[in-house]
Amino acid sequence: MLNSRPIAFEKSAPLLEVKDLTVSFANGKFLPVKNLDLTLYPGEVVGLVGESGSGKSLTALSIMGLLPHGARMESGTISFQGRPLHLASPNDRRALCGRHMGMVFQEPLTALNPVLTIGEQVAEIFRLRQNKSPARAWKLALDLLTQVGLPNPAKSMESHPHRFSGGMRQRVDIAIALAQNPELVIADEPTTALDPTIAAQIIRLLKDMTASRGAAVLFITHNLRLLHDLADRVLVMYAGLLVEETGGDLSSPLHPYTAGLLQALPPRPSEKRPERLIPIPGQPPAPGERRPGCPFEPRCAQKLPVCQETTPPMIEATPGRKVRCHRQAHA
C-alpha cells in the first residue's frame, strides 16, 4: 500500500475539512484537543488512534456538534461538503448531521431504544429513510445484521437490546449507522468488545459499504494494528495533538510514539520479535498539565535537548506523510 493518499482521492473535493480545532474545558485551563487539522475525502477510510484520554472522542463529538457540557470549541472551522458546520444553527446542524453523517458511539447502549426490538430499530431506518415496504425493510435489516456478524440474526432481530452483550449492541449500532446510508460514518471504538477477527471484518465491511458509494469513514481505535492495510490513512493523536499522519502501511512509523504503540501490541504471526509486549514507559500528561516542549518528551527514548523547549511543528516528511517530531525535523 502506498504511503500517500491514493490519487483518486486527490481529485475530489474534501467531504469533511476540520481546521485548527481546539476544544477546551474549565474556561481554557485544559485543552483536550489542540489545533487539529483533519481532511476526509469521499471514499476513504481514515483511522484516528491514540491512548486513552488523547482527545479522539472529543474530536469526533466536535464534528457531530455533540460536545459535552462544559466543553467549548475554542477555535477552528468544520466544513462538510463545503458547508461551514460551525456556523450553522443548532437545528440546522442537527438536521445536516442526521441526514449525512452516522456515528457509532463508544457507549453502545445509549444509542439504542430499549423498548423496541433490534429488528424494529434497524428495519425502521430502511422504511423511513429509503421508503422501503415493511417486508423489504425487514429483509434488508436481516441482511445487514448478518453482515455485521450478529449471531443467529433472524432470532436476534426479535430481541430487545438489554438481552445483548456490549459487543452485540455495538454491531447493531454499526448496522444502524450504515442503514442510514450516510456520506460520513464516524465509528468511535466500535470494536473494543469484539475479537480481532470480527473487528477486522467490521472495518472491512465499513470500507466496502462506504467506499463503493463515495462515502468516508473516520475509524477511532486504540488498536493501531487493526488499521494496518485497512485504512487509507492513519492519524495518531497524543495529548490532544496530532503527532503523525501516515498511509495504511504502518510498518515504518516516523514518530517514536507511533512506534511505541505498535511495540505495545502483541506481534503478528509474521513478525520476528518476542511475544513479550513492550509498553510505553510513563504516562500521558494529566488533564490541564502545562509544560513547554513536546508533550511526548518525558516518555521518549529518542529525545533531543530541543524537545524540552519547544513543541515541534507538524512537518511533511515525505508526500502524504506528516510528523510532529524534532528528530525528523532535524534529520
Ligand X SMILES: Nc1ncnc2c1ncn2[C@@H]1O[C@H](COP(=O)(O)OP(=O)(O)OP(=O)(O)O)[C@@H](O)[C@H]1O
What is the contact surface with ligand X in residues (CB under 6 A)?
25, 32, 50, 52-58, 68, 70, 106, 222, 287
Q: Give which of ligand X, Mg ion, none residue 140 binds (C-beta under 5 to 8 Å, depending on kind).
A: none
Distance from C-alpha of 37 to C-alpha of 139, rounded to nearest angstrom: 41
> Minimal CA–CA distance to 207: which of 219, 198, 197, 196?
219
Give the nearer residue to Mg ion in terms of CB position, either 55 or 153.
55
Alpha helices in the chain (DSSP H): 7-11, 56-64, 90-100, 118-130, 134-147, 153-156, 166-179, 196-211, 224-227, 256-263, 326-329
Q: Give which of ligand X, Mg ion, none residue 55 binds (C-beta under 5 to 8 Å, depending on kind).
A: ligand X
Taking the complex as a whole, the smallest distance from the CB of residue 55 to Mg ion amounts, in Å, to: 9
Give the nearer residue to ligand X in terms of CB position, either 56 or 207.
56
User: Which single residue brings its beta carbon nearest to Mg ion?
Assistant: 57
CA distances from 97 to 12, 38, 130, 148 (A): 21, 17, 17, 23
Give the nearer residue to Mg ion in terms of CB position, either 57 or 246.
57
Taking the complex as a whole, the smallest distance from the CB of residue 56 to Mg ion amounts, in Å, to: 5
- Say if residues 243 and 231 touch (Cβ distance below 8 Å): no
Taking the complex as a whole, the smallest distance from the CB of residue 224 to Mg ion amounts, in Å, to: 15
Q: How many CB atoms lie within 10 A of CB 214?
A: 14
Q: Give which of Mg ion, ligand X, none residue 105 binds (C-beta under 5 to 8 Å, depending on kind).
A: none
Distance from C-alpha of 149 to C-alpha of 223, rounded to nearest angstrom: 20
Distance from C-alpha of 163 to C-alpha of 88, rounded to nearest angstrom: 39
Give the nearer residue to Mg ion in terms of CB position, either 129 or 222.
222
Give the nearer residue to Mg ion in terms of CB position, either 39 or 106.
106
Give the nearer residue to ligand X in terms of CB position, either 5 or 299.
299
Taking the complex as a whole, the smallest distance from the CB of residue 221 to ligand X amounts, in Å, to: 9
Alpha helices in 75-117 (DSSP H): 90-100
Give the interface size with Mg ion as a residue count (CB under 5 A): 2
- Say if residues 16 and 215 touch (Cβ distance below 8 Å): no
Q: Which residues contact 42 (CB under 8 A, 6 or more apart)?
A: 9, 12, 15, 183, 214, 215, 216
Taking the complex as a whole, the smallest distance from the CB of residue 262 to Mg ion amounts, in Å, to: 20
CA distances from 233 to 187, 248, 322 (A): 15, 5, 11
> Minimal CA–CA distance to 313: which of 326, 302, 303?
326
Q: Give which of Mg ion, ligand X, none residue 52 binds (C-beta under 5 to 8 Å, depending on kind).
A: ligand X
Taking the complex as a whole, the smallest distance from the CB of residue 106 to Mg ion amounts, in Å, to: 5
CA distances from 26 to 47, 69, 72, 288 (A): 29, 11, 9, 9
Q: Give which of Mg ion, ligand X, none residue 293 binds (C-beta under 5 to 8 Å, depending on kind).
A: none
Give the nearer residue to ligand X in terms of CB position, either 58 or 325.
58
Query: Restricting to residues 81-120, which ones interact with Mg ion according to CB under 5 A?
Result: 106
Taking the complex as a whole, the smallest distance from the CB of residue 160 to ligand X amounts, in Å, to: 27
The span of 52-60, 87-95, 264-272, 321-329 binding Mg ion (CB under 5 A) equals 52-60
Q: Give which of Mg ion, ligand X, none residue 54 binds (C-beta under 5 to 8 Å, depending on kind).
A: ligand X
- Full strand arrangement of the beta sheet holding 241-247: 101-104, 184-188, 216-221, 45-49, 233-238, 241-247, 321-323, 315-318
Give the nearer residue to Mg ion in terms of CB position, either 60 or 97.
60
Taking the complex as a whole, the smallest distance from the CB of residue 132 to Mg ion amounts, in Å, to: 34
Q: Give which of Mg ion, ligand X, none residue 161 binds (C-beta under 5 to 8 Å, depending on kind).
A: none
Q: Which of 57, 147, 210, 246 binds Mg ion (CB under 5 A)?
A: 57
Angle at 121 between CA 119 and CA 125, to 5 degrees: 110
Interface residue list for Mg ion (CB under 5 A):
57, 106
